Structure 1
């Protein structure tokens, strides 16, 4: 590779920069899993691959030796380093550095890819996996800086310091050892999780099956039990009432009372806060009134309520017994923070050596905590006869804390399988008495292997939310996998953790199809959560009104505790922006692929659009199904991307090539939804293998308007296929489709039919050329059915049309051209959001397309008006309509339009003028009107002629 390339002298300055960054939180066009996507620009570095930059590879590997383990495309250790020696581009290097930086932070991320941006030389798509998105983004930023620095040193850039800051950031956002252990166990069982905050609040499972944890507190942890465990006096009295061994104790509020209590109990004693934790404020082995008095202030400073406990000191070793669900799961002996002399180093130096252990960190960020040398530690060392600058002899143990808590620098020794059965029974009974599902029982006794009732010892504390790290990462002994019983507690073996997810995408029809599916399962009794372009719907209640077809809305549905079935409308924009909001869907429905939104976010062709829509098909598991439109060639190709089964749906008649393809698939055991023409109409039939099951006549489904709305026939067939794949019965599917109407209540903004003063008005969201084509076909068929019913002997078709401003100019013109073939009069309006266009620009392009088409012979449209405001456009169209006419309103704000229609109806009923502009009547042709007026001399005709001459639209 390098031999054919001239060796340049080197770049004048590094120019690698991040142009754009995205975080995919689910399956996406690049990966099945969450990933970070950086678009980077190499600038002049496009001409300088790694083998042309002297010493680049060696310096990089020296800074990050872990890169030696990257296999890259070679599939063997050292493959990536070999690629750098041969020569690879720096965008690829940034990908591997970002992955390695995350590995330095303890996130074992290995998946990545780098691909050139098509048509933009020097720009690359860098995609790599992440565990925490903030850490992943920070890794990408630091990777780019490091690559630039190695090309030409950046002044003030210290990689060691930058790496340390990066690791600290990662540690701040990382899950603690306890939370991480539970999540790891959940993931191994295919239980999904969602992080609910930046700390340790996590949801395991979805919807109605969801359980929450915060560290080791769970959804099943009793708040009352936590309060009791936090009150050490109450805990001791409850345990004593059950005959369990506990120390004598009293609660006091002053130093004098503490000294008096100590004398009554008998020295030595322990002084500790009533409601403290992590061993803070605990003073042990106090032998005199003076020690008790001085310790009282220490304990009170850590007590939230100012109460302090004085209890008898129980000599022995410190054991933590972990009880989950009433059963003993692990026991660890806790050894207080200490150092062991080596005859060479001072106590201070030994502390530094001990803290240098990579397993030790600050607080709970790592499996061990660094030993903190404070006044209490120094005093304790002095009590043992040493100073911090003294050199203890070899083997001499010097304590730096009295308590064995891990949070104060202690270590743990696993003793799980050494405990005496009597001691196990005592610990389990203690957890039951307090009522905790996950409890940490602190035992003080000479030896956990001997019964404490005989050797002496007591339970000194019961802890809610006990830490797991002393058990999962003991300093000495075998780790205990205690996350398993916790997850068993939340999700007993065999219990579900996921709700069925049906995802629906396509260019047109996805909203209606999603609503049909939701309606079918609502009729079965399911609590359906649905996302759509109208908002988030939970059990038929609109909880958020917005375009909610993206991944964030999907996560909102999966977090709702009422949802037991999810239907997700998935839009192209959401997939490109953030990917899916979940890891997989049980059923994926693709209605069609047609030109819409092309030219945005790198999607310029139908094939590229199909690749985006196919993400939901790739997210189908082996036991799931993809419901695909067999009539669409691009959708048909998606079958190769599906790991599960396929359910085809097709409008094609028997004998067609597509239908033969579907029939052949069914003969091999597949599933399909097809149309069977009969003398009574078209019958929707579900096929499974060689079985055929009649579902419903198309003309009996309200949403199809007597079978004339072929697009809703297709939507109903897609919904039937999805419901069948998701387990619904034939009768349930039939009942759902027969009761689903396009009323505003069930399907706002999608083919809502309203009668306004005997004018048939259809309110629909149609906004692109493919949608207008099928809508126009419906208008033709519907108007033909109504022929002869209009007052003037014919039915006029009036359309209000518009499109979004982010379409291509040609797409806008095409919309107008198609509409001109189906409507007599077109009123072109604009959406409220211009999406980068000037006011009036979009409407002008649509009108241009319609007028160009009108120049052709035989085109239906006779007039095009531009009325920018939506409400004005509605009034303009309605003022033209006579009873029996058909008006189609392609809306942006359907609620506002329905309100406007209601006002027009009320005004007409009151006998008032509608308030709209005086406009021409499409049923009165201008030439015919003039002839009639001249022949009859009718006064009204003359008035109309005068209006025409004055330039009034007609």
Structure 2
């Protein structure tokens, strides 16, 4: 990979970026490229395709200097330094983007190592895939990686300025802004360790733990179990004090005021020193302690008043002693921390200002809650406090001298914490636990002031100065001194007691055809069992048999909506190819995966050009099956059968073919399958589990099969039965569900809906591709099997397909339809999807005429582009006893039109009788 610029055919840059991002996607869950959530960039490296990294002078050295963490990347070598070796030997820019994006995330504290780079097949264009923890951070890291690499290309001077240090700082600030606080993150880490799923519900700290009916929510350290009344009480410090005092707990004397004069009057009555603070403040803002005179009280009142949301200020007696925070969760003391106000310790050399700067240089300190400690902010109040201790900021305090820069020990103002969990006196623990119970908080931070927590406060003169709702965990999980306490565990125990379930069963259904019907069958079985089923499909989102959103809802966003619904205790997701390619599954795993079939459809879209690639996309739901789950696979489809190798759980087969050797061997080893047995009484759906053979239903008794004639719905029923059995349904429930599910417009709109208009049987279906037409044509052929030979009913088909299909797909649809219908009316969808009017119909007609020339059944082919008009023409052509099959785009409009025509016919008949 060496050579000069001329040898490589390399043209110097012209100020344009070498690497451009053509497309960016965020996968939220398992996807085509990875088992985990990932960012996918399609990058064009342009002229760099002819110039790997070993031909770029100084590139590797500069890149590693800017991001030294790249030295730890193993890449394909399996050892630290492997990626740098690849850079030296020569690798391509797309691969570099992947590793730089991962390393940028690591600088933000997101340890991610998953990534891959693959060619798209187009010269110089690559798929770059890498993992992420936060989608915003993941996306920004990819963009910054591309900008950085572009500016490191040695012979390309870009017009715009690029300061990596400044850009990296902006990146880190954004990461900090979108990151969870330490308390929320601690709870999430505990939930993840217990395999409890979670979803972020807003840009802040509102998070859902668990799914559906088993969900709980948190916002920081408030939970679904936290009483809003208790929070209100804790926010009212005067009311809290009165309640605690009434319970016999030690509290300081206090009174609420709204004017400075009243504050001075109360301070005199209570006796100096006093504390002045906002009645409903938090994080120690506006709190002034140890006030010795009237002037100090007046000054403190103004600041407390500004920090009070309702304009009330609390004046209370000052309790001397150390500041302790007792964390009580579920009525039990969990952790205790001593809080030391922001301060510096003199060394006899540095000034106070220099000592503050040196303290803030501690890598553990950051802005706000971004790190375990907060930087000390030198405010006017801090300067005045230093002055009261006899120093200016420029003075040098003696070695060992402690200079305070804040009066309160809050970590948000730069304080530190010392763990005292195992040192507290039992009486003090009892007082704290009782205080949490009196206020009614499930998670409470009890602020103690006392000389020594190891001694009973009733004897040493200490008191509870505050009870806090939503207390921060940072001082306990990351104490400055002492051992960290795992305080998130009892929080998660409160929401999910041992033995409880945070998940709900999830069944995912995919395939080229039949997904919606199979999904509805599964949902119907469990609805009949009394379950609250949440379902997504191309019809919309259905919650407990109610359509709540009408749209194509077969993607990941709709799945997440169902999992967020607090009524749902069972989920059935129709999973389409488009959603997987666009965003992944949207959830990490499904308990049961059903793959019905894989046939040519949607090819040529989003990089999927072959049916084998399409099978890989649909295989994602099989890969998302855990070891405890099941994959229900069609043994009659070779592409589906091959997915068994990707399943971590058990494989359950279904097949309509008799004497399938693979299935018989599978069941002999104790496996499960649903098969079709033929007998004199008809075809019988049988569930086989090892040696057990359990009859479910004769196909002609399952309404959706139209007396056993619709074999595609026989397959759907078999797959639904297998999925229901794997998900825990009893045989009786499965039998009852299959026998009571009808393909009516109201239960399954657009899926083999049969109606009668003027004696003509009309079926409405979403059939839109050649494989579906093959199955539908077989049904049409069998539909008239029972008709007398002299009856010769005609078959009329209204057909169409989407404009974004390949030309050959459209021709094939016409070819197949012409084999089964006497008359064909070709229409077009309302959305042409990039085609000119009449173009799609013309290709279908071309295929139908080719079949007609080869002796196909069709006798007449017409083009009526409007869907409603085409339906009207088809019904007008038909005579009583004929069959009209309308392949619809807008099922509701077509169905309404058919009912209108039927009513008019009935009304006309009634008038004639009169």
Alignment TM-score, normalising by the size of structure 2: 0.98
User: Which residue pairs with 1:12 in the alignment?
Assistant: 12
Is the 1:685–1:692 Cα contact (8 Å) retained in structure 2? yes
Is the 2:9–2:50 Cα contact (8 Å) retained in structure 1? no
CA–CA separation in structure 1 for the residues paired with 2:680 and 2:537? 38
User: Which residue pairs with 1:835 in the alignment?
Assistant: 833
Is the 2:3–2:55 Cα contact (8 Å) retained in structure 1? no
CA–CA separation in structure 2 for the residues paired with 1:497 and 1:357? 40
Matched, 1:908 2:905: yes
Q: Deviations over 1:630-668 (max 9, x none)?
A: 0000001000000000000000023xxxx1111111101
User: Which residue pairs with 1:331 in the alignment?
Assistant: 336
User: Which residue pairs with 2:886 in the alignment?
Assistant: 889
The SS at the match of 1:198 is coil
User: What's the offset of the Cα at 1:826?
Assistant: 0.6
- The counterpart of 1:850, out of the listed 832, 848, 851, is 848
The SS at the match of 1:418 is coil
User: Which residue pairs with 1:804 in the alignment?
Assistant: 802
Matched, 1:485 2:490: yes
User: Which residue pairs with 1:304 in the alignment?
Assistant: 309
Matched, 1:821 2:824: no
CA–CA separation in structure 1 for the residues paired with 2:670 and 2:134? 43
CA–CA separation in structure 2 for the residues paired with 1:726 and 1:597? 31
Distance 1:7 1:327, change over 3 A: farther
User: Which residue pairs with 2:865 in the alignment?
Assistant: 868
Distance 1:845 1:8, change over 3 A: closer
User: What's the offset of the Cα at 1:910?
Assistant: 2.2
CA–CA separation in structure 2 for the residues paired with 1:713 and 1:5? 65
User: Which residue pairs with 2:556 in the alignment?
Assistant: 551
Is the 1:703–1:741 Cα contact (8 Å) retained in structure 2? yes
Matched, 1:475 2:489: no
Matched, 1:285 2:304: no
The SS at the match of 1:911 is helix
Q: Deviations over 1:43-88 (max 9, x none)?
A: 0001111111112111111100111111111111111111111111
User: Which residue pairs with 1:952 in the alignment?
Assistant: none
- The counterpart of 2:32, out of the listed 24, 29, 34, is 29
User: Which residue pairs with 1:795 in the alignment?
Assistant: 793
User: What's the offset of the Cα at 1:350?
Assistant: 1.4
User: What's the offset of the Cα at 1:878?
Assistant: 0.5
User: Which residue pairs with 1:614 in the alignment?
Assistant: 619
User: What's the offset of the Cα at 1:358?
Assistant: 2.1
Q: Which moved more, 1:678-687 or 1:904-913?
A: 904-913
User: Which residue pairs with 1:591 in the alignment?
Assistant: 596
User: What's the offset of the Cα at 1:293?
Assistant: 1.7
The SS at the match of 2:483 is coil
User: What's the offset of the Cα at 1:322?
Assistant: 0.6
CA–CA separation in structure 2 for the residues paired with 1:484 and 1:862? 74
CA–CA separation in structure 2 for the residues paired with 1:6 and 1:633? 51
The SS at the match of 1:835 is coil
CA–CA separation in structure 2 for the residues paired with 1:116 and 1:849? 36
User: What's the offset of the Cα at 1:787?
Assistant: 4.0
Q: Deviations over 1:816-845 (max 9, x none)?
A: 111111111111111111111112111111
The SS at the match of 2:339 is strand
CA–CA separation in structure 1 for the residues paired with 2:98 and 2:787? 64
Distance 1:867 1:361, change over 3 A: same
CA–CA separation in structure 1 for the residues paired with 2:164 and 2:361? 20
Distance 1:814 1:10, change over 3 A: closer
User: What's the offset of the Cα at 1:784?
Assistant: 2.4
Alignment TM-score, normalising by the size of structure 1: 0.94
User: Which residue pairs with 1:538 in the alignment?
Assistant: 543
CA–CA separation in structure 1 for the residues paired with 2:59 and 2:793? 77
Distance 1:4 1:484, change over 3 A: farther
Q: Deviations over 1:779-816 (max 9, x none)?
A: 1111222346xxx9320111111100110001001101
User: What's the offset of the Cα at 1:368?
Assistant: 1.3
User: Which residue pairs with 2:58 in the alignment?
Assistant: 55
Q: Which moved more, 1:6-15 or 1:403-412?
A: 6-15
CA–CA separation in structure 1 for the residues paired with 2:755 and 2:260? 82
Is the 1:532–1:568 Cα contact (8 Å) retained in structure 2? yes
Structure 1 unaligned spans of 5+? 915-954
CA–CA separation in structure 2 for the residues paired with 1:801 and 1:356? 72
CA–CA separation in structure 2 for the residues paired with 1:259 and 1:3? 84
CA–CA separation in structure 1 for the residues paired with 2:203 and 2:788? 64
CA–CA separation in structure 2 for the residues paired with 1:98 and 1:521? 45
CA–CA separation in structure 2 for the residues paired with 1:520 and 1:427? 52
CA–CA separation in structure 1 for the residues paired with 2:749 and 2:699? 22
User: What's the offset of the Cα at 1:2?
Assistant: 5.0
- Residue pairs, 1:250-261, within 5 angstroms: 250-261=255-266
- Residue pairs, 1:338-353, within 5 angstroms: 338-353=343-358
User: What's the offset of the Cα at 1:348?
Assistant: 1.3
User: Which residue pairs with 1:757 in the alignment?
Assistant: 758
Q: Which moved more, 1:354-363 or 1:128-137?
A: 354-363
CA–CA separation in structure 1 for the residues paired with 2:664 and 2:3? 57
Distance 1:59 1:436, change over 3 A: same
Distance 1:117 1:76, change over 3 A: same
CA–CA separation in structure 2 for the residues paired with 1:605 and 1:665? 30
- Residue pairs, 1:271-420, within 5 angstroms: 271-420=276-425
User: Which residue pairs with 2:682 in the alignment?
Assistant: 681
CA–CA separation in structure 2 for the residues paired with 1:114 and 1:387? 58
User: What's the offset of the Cα at 1:11?
Assistant: 5.5
User: Which residue pairs with 1:668 in the alignment?
Assistant: 669
Q: Deviations over 1:717-766 (max 9, x none)?
A: 00001011111111110000000010112111100010112111101000
Moved over 6 A (4+): 3-7
Is the 1:7–1:52 Cα contact (8 Å) retained in structure 2? no
User: Which residue pairs with 1:646 in the alignment?
Assistant: 651
User: Which residue pairs with 1:141 in the alignment?
Assistant: 143
Structure 2 unaligned spans of 5+? none
- The counterpart of 2:49, out of the listed 35, 38, 46, is 46
- Residue pairs, 1:931-942, within 5 angstroms: none
Matched, 1:91 2:70: no
Aligned residues between the structures = 905
Q: Deviations over 1:104-148 (max 9, x none)?
A: 001111111111112x01111110000111111110000011111
User: Which residue pairs with 1:930 in the alignment?
Assistant: none
User: What's the offset of the Cα at 1:349?
Assistant: 1.6
User: Which residue pairs with 1:432 in the alignment?
Assistant: 437
Is the 2:281–2:308 Cα contact (8 Å) retained in structure 1? yes
The SS at the match of 2:61 is helix
User: Which residue pairs with 1:878 in the alignment?
Assistant: 875
Is the 1:177–1:469 Cα contact (8 Å) retained in structure 2? yes
Is the 1:10–1:52 Cα contact (8 Å) retained in structure 2? no
The SS at the match of 1:416 is coil
User: What's the offset of the Cα at 1:17?
Assistant: 1.2
CA–CA separation in structure 2 for the residues paired with 1:913 and 1:196? 58
Is the 1:11–1:48 Cα contact (8 Å) retained in structure 2? no
Q: Which moved more, 1:546-555 or 1:859-868?
A: 859-868
User: What's the offset of the Cα at 1:8?
Assistant: 4.8
CA–CA separation in structure 1 for the residues paired with 2:41 and 2:782? 50
User: Which residue pairs with 1:951 in the alignment?
Assistant: none
CA–CA separation in structure 2 for the residues paired with 1:785 and 1:9? 74
Is the 1:787–1:795 Cα contact (8 Å) retained in structure 2? no
CA–CA separation in structure 1 for the residues paired with 2:504 and 2:852? 52
User: What's the offset of the Cα at 1:593?
Assistant: 0.6
